[in-house]
Chains A and B, each alone.
Chain A
Amino acid sequence: MSTVTPTSAVTSPPAPGPSRRRGPGVAPYVWLLPAFALLAFVVGYPIVRNVVASFTTASGGTSTFVGFAQYEALLSDPVFYRSVLLTVYWTVGVTALQFGLGALAALVADRNTWFVRRARSLLIIPWVLPGVVAANIWVVFYTDRGLVNSALSLIGLPTQQAWLANSDTAMIAVIVAAAWKGFPFYFLLLLAGLQSVPAETREAARVDGASSFQTLTRVVLPQMRAIITTSLVLGVIATSNYFDGVYLMTQGGPSQATLTLPVWLYNTAFANFDFARASALSVVILLIVLVPVVVRLVLVGRRGRA
């Protein structure tokens, strides 16, 4: 799921309310209660429970405390390191393709004509499509007689490849499918970024004799640094944990060629029913996501206070 970061909210403390109201007492906490109760129920308690479960081993309905044994087993499992590398490969591949395609689309759609407006809405559709639908469509596209092979024959590269069944091509195939589904995220954000650069700025650069390429790289892009960074941070977090596309297309196979961490987690829990091991893996995934986020928040907070 995509996320948002209202950066301004982090740096500025809440402004004081109307002065007529003296100390708010417990009122604010009452207002926050519904949201935090729901969060505690759906996110907080499960995470605590998860951490506790990761220090146990469950067999025959009873769980025994085993300390860090689950983590030790995890860290000495070669599949773990393989899975981490595959997750990195997957994340970098998907992000690069999505960002490239999104940037290209944003550059050519940065105008306001009838055709461009229609084209924009069409380009966003893959993103609102359920992952299950996208996965099924691409599974069929990738069959030996599917659209991908027809298209390749059309441009003179005839092949009978069953892309997802071959462990050498499965990962690339899954990455391309995910790039197709997710590129509109970057498209929307980069387009918004392009449009937030005032027309006068570009006009001024043009008057000064800059070519459109120079205008883009020296004037427009530097002003978009913040939105590019934020979109990449959020995109990388979402992609590294993206489950649906990979799992539904390959279940992590063939021969573990697409076994990213989320897929491995799901298989450990719901195919092998090793919930204790899956809990330990969940905690590891959570730490991988949260450590950079917390570090970033602390850094932004410091800068805000200084």
Chain B
Amino acid sequence: MSAARARLGGLLPGGVLLVLVAVVVVVPFAWVVLASLRQTNVLTGSFFDVSDLGLGNYATVLSRGLPRALVNSTIACLLAAVLSVAVGAVAAYAFSRFTFRGSRALFWLILVVQVIPGVSVVVPLYQLWASLQLFNSVIGLGVAYAGLNTAVCMLLLKGFVDDVPRELDEAAAIDGCGHVATFGRVVLPLMAPALTASGIYVLVNTWQEYVIASSLLNDPSAFTATVGLQNLVGQYSTDYGGIMAGSVLTAIPIIIVFSLFQKQFVQTVTGGLKG
């Protein structure tokens, strides 16, 4: 009896997990990929009807500016990741290694800033960017993204700097290193995995972003993937095949990045939260 129950106890979670994965991920994604490949009957085609599959929808969306949008997204998101990780790492070192007046207050300020939602600065950011000629600039968008992710990066990285043993600093100091050399030659190399992880976190975050991008860009040649995709939807709202193909193309790069760096990404999210 109890042996049977124990076996059931092992099987039940496995079964629930299987159903979850199927219902939540496999069926929806299979449906989307199938729909994106259908030339006709995008919505009405039966799940198992594979008679008229082809790449027509992909050819259509690729000819409507999506490649350019994917490149723009890559530029803005990489710039954001590099810039926010760089300034975040330097600030994290200062918070971790220096004792100075106001450090506590400034640290609190960062904690407060990181919860400010992007949507609440979208209006003034739009006005500011317009007055600085940064409107419709992919670089300008990257700078905005960097600023909006700096606080999170700093907090994530401070945890890692704190973990670098201070004995190493002291050894470097005995060898005549100042703070800059200690940071550059001792702390930074040890933090390489954390820098990558934070960068990936920013990439995943900014690749998804829509509201800031849509308000700072209105020229199709500057569109990011999310804005470009939405523009496509606006123009061809009943071309479901094209919309599904565009969605797949927008999602694929970030799913690849995520798969490659999954471990770091998960550690960043969970590690950062647990402090």
Residues of A within 8 A of B (CB): 1-10, 13-18, 20-21, 24, 27-29, 31-32, 34-36, 38-39, 41-43, 45-47, 49-50, 53, 101, 104-105, 107-109, 111, 115-116, 119, 121-126, 128-133, 136-137, 140-141, 143, 145-147, 150, 180, 185, 188-189, 191-192, 196, 212, 227, 230-231, 234, 237-238, 241, 243-244, 247-248, 262, 265-266, 269-270, 275, 278-279, 282-283, 285-286, 289-290, 293-294, 297, 301
Contact = CB atoms under 8 A, between A and B. Distances in A.
B27 to A, nearest CB: 8
Given A9-B107, A35-B91, A189-B269, A266 B243 contact: no
Contact of A27 (B86, B179, B229, B251): B179
B14 A108 contact: yes
Given A140-B243, A180-B24, A43 B31 contact: no
A42 B144 contact: yes
Contacts of A132: 208, 210, 226, 229-230, 247, 250
Contacts, number: 330
Nearest to B144: A42
B53 interface: no
A2 B275 contact: no
A294 B143 CA distance: 27
B268 to A, nearest CB: 8
Interface string B226-249: 100110010000001001101100
A189 B273 contact: yes
A227 B273 contact: yes
Contacts of B86: 34
A294 B99 contact: no
Contact of B207 (A7, A107, A122, A130): A130
Contact of A24 (B87, B100, B173, B251): B100
Contacts of A270: 215
A79 B245 CA distance: 38
Majority-rule SS of A interface residues: helix
Given A140-B43, A289-B120, A293-B115, A29 B100 contact: yes
A140 B246 CA distance: 13
A43 B148 contact: yes
B113 A39 contact: yes
A241 B233 CA distance: 24
Q: Which of A39, A191, A301 has the most CB of B within 10 A?
A: A39
B181 interface: no
The 7 A-B residue pairs with the shortest CB-CB distance, nearest first, are: A42-B147, A31-B94, A241-B117, A46-B124, A4-B272, A35-B91, A6-B275
